[in-house]
Structure 1
């Protein structure tokens, strides 16, 4: 309790002993608990669930959103590792949308530059796209760490190697080619 009587502070999120990955536990002979989900009664033949319309929406700038591609590649990556049912679809959608917004901001920075004109004084200021880009990249990383932690703790096969998060620069470069 703080001096003013409020209950501030406390343990930080993510502090404490770090858990080992499931593959490390199995490899070292430790007991490992895995979330066992019941098999669905009806199995449909689709690889990726239908992509929501907001991930495909037309943009005012004319730049295509890459959110649909990111969503599909992330979901297929999770499916290959058997973790597609463990990660909430909304988290994947949030990750995909954040990546596409980051790509949009970076494209605008390339087009308009790092500086902007202050609306009242006319002096040079930092472009608002730079700040937005930094915020979206932070959100992208936070979403990816949540997804990757679920995979790390529940995947019994090798989960390393190429992953959708490594393709961020590829999405950025392909967006510049299209515009």
Structure 2
């Protein structure tokens, strides 16, 4: 029988890296930074404003999810990511036009400090996008190692305890699973051989 997993209590700062720093990710980052700055509320956030019912409805026991589930606090989040364009989060969010410019302007110092690392990009997988802020390497394996180094450096430079990565990049072409996806060993070999079945 499987033993229940123990969820470790969050401690220290949590890095949040997004491959892709366009409209979705910059809106997310700007919203969190607004909350951290005390000028916004987490409207629509299940974890921050939602409640969970414990026991019967008549027990009237419904704590906030953030008080019941061990989650990192918003003040502990540190943002970064990769993008094919060099725009910092302020510039990218301004260009995206999702948030009002006056709201972004209040956060300009916070948002201009978040700059993208060079992306791993191949136009064969995202045909409607071109970018110049991209990594160059002789194989997909080397590119993967560069991404690992980025994560380790980001963690070290920001004094983070842990890091999560949330995909926010453009939709890539659909690829059917092949033998290269059948095992870790096959995948690593595929990276070294720059197998076309592995998208960047």
- Structure having the higher strand fraction is 2
Larger radius of gyration: 1
TM-score, length-scaled by structure 1: 0.24
Larger proportion of helix: 1
